[in-house]
């Protein structure tokens, strides 16, 4: 009777990094100028836009709390300033998501794909 335990290691596919080499390759990629540029491109877009949106949102909240007369100003029929600014919050959320997806598709994804290809190729 054969009592040998089956091995749990699966055969490595060509181009797959070995367990010992992978962390070094990931660390090398992370410290590369190309990766730093990818992070800079993402941060230079996301951080200012996030700050601007948070300022816009806080302005809406502050106006709602402390400028009730202004926010209650009727514009047309039953539509007042508060309703228009509240709906504008939704509009800006969708616009920012659309803008970021365009930014990612044109500036981030090609760089990330190049880095991924380089990592998978074992460079």
pLDDT digits (tens, 9 = 90+) for 89-123: 999 999 999 999 999 999 999 999 999 998 888 75
Q: For 19-38, what is each residue's pLDDT tens digit?
A: 445 778 888 888 889 999 99
The larger pLDDT score, comparing residue 4 to residue 118, is at: 118
CA distance 10 to 30: 28
Contact 72, 81 (CB under 8 A): yes
- Of all residues in the chain, the percent with pLDDT exceeding 70 is 81
Contact 108, 42 (CB under 8 A): yes
Question: What's the average model confidence in pLDDT over 32-46?
Answer: 93
CA dihedral 56, 60, 62, 68 (to 10 degrees): 150
- Average model confidence (pLDDT) across the chain: 86
């Amino acid at each position: 009777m054969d009592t040998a335990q089956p091995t749990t290691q699966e055969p490595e596919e060509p181009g797959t990094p070995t367990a010992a080499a992978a962390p070094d390759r990931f660390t090398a990629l992370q410290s590369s100028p190309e990766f730093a540029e990818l992070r800079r491109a993402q941060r230079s877009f996301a951080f200012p836009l996030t700050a601007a949106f948070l300022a816009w949102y806080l302005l809406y909240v502050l106006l709602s709390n402390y400028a009730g007369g202004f926010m209650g100003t009727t514009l047309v029929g039953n539509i007042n300033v508060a309703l228009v600014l509240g709906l504008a919050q939704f509009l800006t959320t969708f616009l920012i998501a659309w803008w970021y997806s365009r930014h990612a598709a044109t500036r981030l994804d090609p760089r990330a794909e190049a880095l991924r290809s380089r990592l998978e190729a074992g460079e």
